[in-house]
Amino acid sequence: MKFFNRIKMRGEQLYNRGKRFYDYCTVGVWTDMRSTMFVKLVKTLNLSLRAFFDGDIQTKACALTYRSMLALVPALALLVAIGRGFGLQNVLEKELIDGMGSQRTALEHIFDYVDSYLSQSSEGVFLGIGIALLLWTLISILSSVENAFNDIWGVKVGRSFWRKATDYLAIFLVLPVLMICASGITVFVSTNLSRLLPFDFVSPLVEGLLDFASLVFIWLFFTGVYVLIPNTRVKFKNAFVAGIFAGTGYMVLQWLFITGQIYVSKYNAIYGGIAFLPLLLIWLQLVWVICLAGAVVCYASQNIFQYNFNNEINRITVSYRLKIHVAVMAVVVNDYLAGKKAPTKDEIIKDYGLPSRLVASAVNFMVDAGLLLRVVNNAREEIFGYAPAIDAQLLTVGTVVSRLRNYGADNFIPDFDRTFGGVIKAIDRAEDAMIDTLKDLYVKDITVTDILTVEAEKAASSAAEATPSESPAAPSA
């Protein structure tokens, strides 16, 4: 009986630990302000899974699969044209055929279409029309990909037409080269090494290094996708982490697809000559899911700090939100009067430990209310700081509170003032009394302390508490 009781108690302990760990990973981690690798990893995984399921990635992947089918021949035509320039056309075609070994005939037909497309696009009257159609098709598919990425990143405005023309041209030149290098480096290098190194015992090592080099090019390909396509500033380190994730997933998918060819022969019996189509659609769908999942990981790894205290922010009181606004205003005013560079949102978040969502909403609202101005700190990288829009020497807390409370739509409900006249008088009287008490409190007189000073004070206080106090020396006789 005691044995079963011990098992029961142990089971309850494990259940309670598991529940606490689950609660921490789902909710509690967003109130953990430590910068340890474990906390960052849990936040990234939490946000990635949430964004993946809430962002309807499957639907986006289906839409991109449809657009990819329309752009399949033009896209392959571009790859083949670049491959010809590098002398790797045969290598590229061989890699694609090896990847679809059971559908060799269908791929050979597709390459016939590609050759016909290129010949028609580069001869006679079709020269200008063919090239224009090729570029328009590829710009259209990239525009769809950009819209999907911008939706993941929360970017509301896409590139202008001229920026699409210039940025997409760079993408067309860079990304296909990386993909071709990933496909052709193994054959190219191994062929030359076999002439220089006639030793058979080094071949396994060389093959392993070449396979790894191909994997690195795939990583760089997806890294370039995550850096270049979204219409926002993406840090390379975050894009590279996502590129490793997506590139490895892509290579695993390729391996599964190649090794599984022998198990899909029944599709030939069902679909006959078009058996290639369902397999291609499945492959494209999974590739886009992996690509979009990588974009989610990239977004999550770069923006985990934006979701700190997420549950608390959703239930924040009006009073506490007002305090955050005044605190941000005090930081901007103090830096301005001290002659410092206009602080950015990220600097305010980092220096004072404030949640990103609250800081972003505060500066945007105060810019609209005429309390702050956006200042260009770095035009090339589009980095903006913030400065006071009102004379910093004369700006009072009462003015800030009054602007914040009175900015926005007001008195738009018909007959509200007649129906609730007593409410309006009571609220106006209370707000006037509060603002009247703040009219002599200047924002410049508010003392703010950065997070490093606060942590140093905490450390000093902890050290003082840990050190036992010495008893006073006894007086000498």
Is 376 in a helix, a strand, or coil? strand
- C-alpha span between 374 and 88 (Å, rounded): 50
- Please name the residue ranges forming H helices in 158-275: 161-196, 203-228, 236-259, 265-271
Give the C-alpha separation, 305 to 241, whole Å: 17
Q: What percent of the chain has a predicted confidence (pLDDT) above 70?
A: 64
Give 475's pLDDT tier (boundaries 50, 70, 90): very low
- Burial (CB < 10 A; 0-12, 13-18, 19+), residue 375, is middle
Q: Average pLDDT for residues 68-88, to the nearest whole number?
A: 67
Helix (H) or strand (E) holding 472: none
* Residue 275: band (very low, low, confident or very high) from pLDDT cuts 50, 70, 90: low
pLDDT at 477: 35
pLDDT at 421: 86
Token pair belonging to 459: 């450390």
Mean pLDDT, residues 25-36 taken together: 76
Amino acid at 118: L
Mean pLDDT of 144-162: 79
Greater pLDDT, 71 or 181: 71
Mean pLDDT of 92-112: 60
Look at 356 and 174; give whichever has higher pLDDT: 356
Q: Tokens representing 327?
A: 């605190």
Banded pLDDT at 102 (limits 50, 70, 90): very low
What pLDDT sits at residue 274? Answer: 60
Check residues 330 and 106 and name the one with the higher pLDDT: 330
State pLDDT tens for residues 413-448: 888 888 898 898 998 898 888 888 888 899 998 888
Cβ atoms within 10 A of the Cβ of 441, count? 12
Tokens of 229: 């396509």
CA distance linking residue 203 with residue 213, whole number of Å: 15
The mean-pLDDT minimum among 110-124, 184-198, 339-353 falls in: 184-198
pLDDT at 459: 67
- Residues paired with 388 in a beta bridge: 372
Average pLDDT of the segment spanning 157-176: 70
Question: How many other C-beta atoms are found inside a 10 Å radius of the C-beta of residue 102?
Answer: 18
More confident: 431 or 212? 431
Whether residue 333 is predicted with pLDDT greater than 90 in this model: the reply is yes
Judge whether residue 43 has pLDDT over 90. Answer: no
Percent residues over pLDDT 90 in the chain = 12
The reported pLDDT for the residue numbered 126 is 45
What pLDDT shows up at residue 73? Answer: 67
Identify the H or E element spanning 2: helix 2-26
Determine the average pLDDT of the residues in 290-302: 86
d(CA 460, CA 346): 27
Q: Averaging pLDDT over each range in 9-23, 61-75, 304-318, which range is the top one?
A: 9-23
Q: φ, ψ for residue 375 (rounded to 5)?
A: -120, 135
pLDDT of residue 326: 93
Tell me the per-residue pLDDT of 179-199, one tens digit each, with 9 for 90 and over.
Answer: 655 555 555 555 555 555 555
**What gap in Å lies between CA 306 and CA 50, rounded to an integer?**
14
- Which among 364, 358, 348, 335 has a CA at the least distance from the CA of 443? 335
Per-residue pLDDT band for 124 (boundaries 50, 70, 90) equals very low
- DSSP letters for 39-71: HHHHHHHHHHHHHHHHTTHHHHHHHHHHHHHHT
Question: Residue 130 has what pLDDT?
Answer: 58
Half-sphere exposure of 61 (CA within 13 A, CB side): 22
Mean pLDDT, rounded, of the chain: 76
More confident residue, 324 or 467: 324
Higher model confidence: residue 204 or residue 358?
Answer: 358
pLDDT digits (tens, 9 = 90+) for 382-412: 578 899 999 999 999 999 999 998 888 888 8
Residue partners of 376: CB distance under 8 A and separation at least 6? 383, 384, 385
Better-scored residue on pLDDT, 202 or 12: 12
Assign 332 a pLDDT band (cuts: 50, 70, 90).
very high
